[in-house]
């Protein structure tokens, strides 16, 4: 779940959190990481009627950060969007069938 504008900056090698973020694992004692991992596992292993969208939805992007639809989305199917607020673009767009 991404809630802040620069939330993915921690995956940039120049970010102060980068080393921590790429080395965190299942044995981590970081409470926030463990909570996120628990949520991800519950969704991943959920039955079809409990999932937010189908298992074939494997690609997403943020139209807020990337105004033009990425080339990889061509030929895929837009399955779900998280709406923007105050007239802003959708926060996230989720696709299935991307090759």
Number of domains making up the chain: 2
Shared domain for 15 and 39, answered yes or no, is yes
Task: Give the domain extent around 27.
Answer: 8-45
How do beta strands 92-96 and 77-82 pair? antiparallel
In this structure, is residue 75 part of a structural domain?
yes
Stronger pLDDT, 72 or 11, i.e. the higher one: 72
**CA distance linking residue 43 with residue 52, whole number of Å:** 8
* Cross-strand partners of 78: 95
Min mean pLDDT across 4-8, 27-31, 81-85 is at 4-8
> So what's the pLDDT on residue 72?
93
Shared domain for 98 and 57, answered yes or no, is yes
Min mean pLDDT across 2-11, 12-21, 55-64, 70-79 is at 2-11
Nearest to 13 by CA among 3, 24, 2, 22: 22
In this structure, is residue 98 part of a structural domain?
yes
DSSP three-state, residue 93: strand
Shared domain for 56 and 98, answered yes or no, is yes
Shared domain for 57 and 89, answered yes or no, is yes
| pTM for the structure as a whole | 0.62
């Amino acid at each position: 779940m991404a809630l802040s504008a620069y939330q993915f900056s921690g995956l940039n090698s120049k970010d102060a959190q980068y080393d921590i973020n790429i080395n965190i694992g299942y044995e981590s004692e970081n409470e926030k990481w463990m909570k996120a991992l628990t949520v991800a596992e519950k969704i991943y292993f959920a039955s079809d009627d409990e999932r937010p969208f189908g298992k074939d939805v494997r690609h997403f992007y943020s139209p807020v950060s990337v105004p033009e639809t990425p080339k990889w989305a061509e030929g895929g199917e837009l399955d779900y969007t998280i709406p923007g607020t105050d007239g802003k673009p959708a926060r996230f767009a989720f696709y299935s069938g991307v090759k």
